[in-house]
Amino acid sequence: MYFAASSTPARRKLAAFVAASLGLTLATAFSSAYAVPTPDVLPATQHASVQDESIRPFAPVHVPQVAIDDLRRRIAATQWPEKETVADSSQGVQLETMQKLARYWATDYDWRKAEAALNALPQFVTTIDGVDIHFIHVRSKNPNALPLIINHGWPGSVLEQVKLIGPLTDPVAYGGKADDSFDVVIPSMPGYGFSGKPTTTGWGPEHMARAWAELMRRLGYQHYVAQGGDWGAFVVDQMGLQAPPGLLGIHTNMPATVPADIDEALRIGAPAPAGMSADEKRAYGQLAQTFKQVDYARLMGSRPQTLYGIDDSPVGLAAWLLDHNDANAQPAAAVAAALNRNASATGELTRDEVLDNITLYWLTNTGVSASRLYWEYKGGFFNAKGVKVPVAVSVFPGEQYQAPRSWTEKAYPHLIYYHQAEKGGHFAAWEQPTIFAQELRAAFRSLR
């Protein structure tokens, strides 16, 4: 990882854009004299007063070419380490993988395509508890559409869910029925993407759950449903626990189902308890393996501020976002596979989509701010939380563990849907958007 201390003009940071009265203006205000190394060229938004509940348009994204040139120059200037001393990825993302990706990123990758895709969507910003929340909001043409708020996770962004918007808001055009239409709201979590970066502690999943309920209230929705995977699953579980007025139910593709005694056995590294079914034994083994490969989470959970390198080196950031300490197993198998996929007719994840997400982190300078979510959260991960609202669960074969139905029914006593999908992994909406959209249609059908 290259830590540059130079303050020459070529190393200097672009200044933040000027925020306009009706939202974020990503325009022309920058200066080569601002001598901080990392180009935070897409800062959060204007800071409206805490009491302001207005919904403000989010101006089109346009990164100055000088910022793209600076990114490419930094990639080219990477100080590479030597090759790993093993034949696999057990020491981390392999040198050959990173150098191949870096060559493409610095030469042929086109951020402007991601910009155009984002700018084609209706985007807004509102201030909740002093933090500006950016969100995509696409209404269906069907007046009876069910409002749905979708929460991304780490190392993701709203870009994970954009492929869902068409199939959910206009299901007829994608082989579905008009009765399955959704209005879709996709917020950027605080510290991620175009949302503001909290300057104080307290923005964990519990706070986000309250913020999303407030966002849906401001949008005028009297009834709605919520969906989440990865950190989004934690947020929607918290929404379920808080049960705000208007929340009809939640859908999760990373359910928290582990019974208390099983969770304790996992915590202490004990063998699988006796009397478990085959599905439960499989889940126990998967969870035991998962807890051995979360070094990245432990570091962000304890020392997120120490990760200065990911805000200064594009290659360092990319490697950090790609590495889940899983030796090409889950949860990042689909991401690793995507690095060798240039296009997909069926919506599977591609190299450009992976780089779109990484580049968004770079341009918004949110590597460290996004990591703080791990520090904020002090609760359990896969243990049952006691959610009583209606819950729908989709189990994907490539998830970190396949939640058994037996555990799921106990964890979510008002279970309205449980289905094992045919394909997809931890980033299912990103990896298999068609299947994921079908899951959401079926999951919430009984709540319409």
Sheet strands (E) in 66-174: 123-128, 131-138, 146-151
| Residue 430 parent element (H or E) | helix 428-431
Catalytic annotation, pick one of 70, 170, 230, 326:
230
What gap in Å lies between CA 162 and CA 417, rounded to an integer?
A: 24
Other CB atoms within 10 A of residue 277 CB:
12
What gap in Å lies between CA 365 and CA 352, rounded to an integer?
A: 19
Helices (H), 323-415: 333-338, 351-364, 367-376, 405-411
Strands 247-252 and 224-228 come out as parallel
Closest CA to 444 of 272, 251, 162, 220: 251
What gap in Å lies between CA 76 and CA 67, rounded to an integer?
A: 14
312 belongs to the catalytic site: no
3-state helix, strand, coil in the chain (%, to 5): 40, 15, 45
Cross-strand pairs, 252: 228, 393
Catalytic annotation, pick one of 374, 401, 417, 418:
374
For residue 116, give both structure tokens: 């155009």
Catalytic annotation, pick one of 152, 251, 324, 426:
426
104 belongs to the catalytic site: no
| DSSP result, 167-225 | HHH-GGGGT--GGG-EEEEEEPPTTSTTSPPPSSS--SHHHHHHHHHHHHHHTT-SSEE
Place of tokens 């520090």: 375
What gap in Å lies between CA 92 and CA 140, rounded to an integer?
A: 43
What gap in Å lies between CA 96 and CA 217, rounded to an integer?
A: 49
311 belongs to the catalytic site: no
For residue 439, give both structure tokens: 């899951």
Look up residue 383 and give its DSSP letter.
B
Catalytic residues: 230, 374, 426
